[in-house]
Amino acid sequence: MAAEPYDDRDGWIWMDGEYVPWRDSKVHILTHALHYGGAAFEGQRAYNGRIFKLEEHTDRLFRSAEILGYKVPFSKNEINDACNELLVKHEFVDAYCRPVVWRGSEMMGIAAQQNTIHAAIAVWQWPSYFAPEARLKGLRLDISKWRRPAPDTAPTDAKASGLYMICTITKHAADDNGYDDALMLDYRGQIAEATGANIFFVKDGELHTPTPDCFLDGITRRTVIDLARARGLKVTERAIMPEEMEGFEQAFLTGTAAEVTPLSEIGPYRFEVGDITKTLMTDYDTLVRSGG
């Protein structure tokens, strides 16, 4: 059965300050962001009717827009209120929330100083990003040929649409090769992240994770680091080379969509779905559902 298309659903989308029927929330074909990647966005999850770390996500949305060179035409409180109101209007308890801001269509070309900045928010019910059976036994990751760019070649601190082009290409290639996702290295050949999630490794009871100096320091990533340290686990953020994966015992992804998802293999390297990974999965689920 085909998935329900995202442009043909019942409900409401908050768009430029108004609640618009879902099917009527449209933009023009000459919208600058469609052609030049000038959109900033967030991905958030609601658990038990409450969006986890909503304010932190909204702060990052505004930072991303600033990095892209424009100002969000609404206050943070207005964005937060609209996210919460959409949950109520849809009567959703567990849901995914997607705020996005973008450059409009007044100018078409590289320059876009006169373009109106638009904002919209949509919510929908979205189960785990990865299939439940794959999560339980650990995902299989390919290793991408595409690398995360250097911070002096792209705005790597922004959650911006253009930065995800190579992630889509990579995810499609992984799917075609029978994998669940792919690991991306950075411009130096160091381990970076998956296509939409940060990565952790476990060795001798300690966690190792790449330093986020050319990719997003994810909100879920920071949350899991706090949970691990609360358990008395040592967490080391450092440069990690691909060949080091041979010595790691466990590996897992973190992200708003992925939550905490174990890995069983990355290319030629194999990992167990071990106790530390399982504990952090449980701790994260408990935290988000407790309103923490």
Q: Which residues are catalytic?
A: 159
Q: By the 8 A CB rule, do 58 and 44 touch?
A: no
- Please name the residue ranges forming H helices in 182-240: 219-230
How far is Cα of residue 230 from the mean position of the Cα atoms in its chain?
A: 24
| Angstrom distance (rounded) from CA 63 to CA 71 | 9
Helix, strand or coil, per DSSP, at residue 175: helix
| Angstrom distance (rounded) from CA 6 to CA 262 | 28
Q: By the 8 A CB rule, do 68 and 38 touch?
A: yes
| Angstrom distance (rounded) from CA 272 to CA 155 | 35
| Angstrom distance (rounded) from CA 124 to CA 235 | 34
| Angstrom distance (rounded) from CA 97 to CA 279 | 26
Cα angle 285, 276, 219 (rounded to 5 degrees) comes to: 45
- Name the helix (H) or strand (E) containing 174: helix 165-176
Q: Give the type of residue at 166.
A: I
The encoded tokens of residue 23 equal 């099917």
| Angstrom distance (rounded) from CA 144 to CA 147 | 7
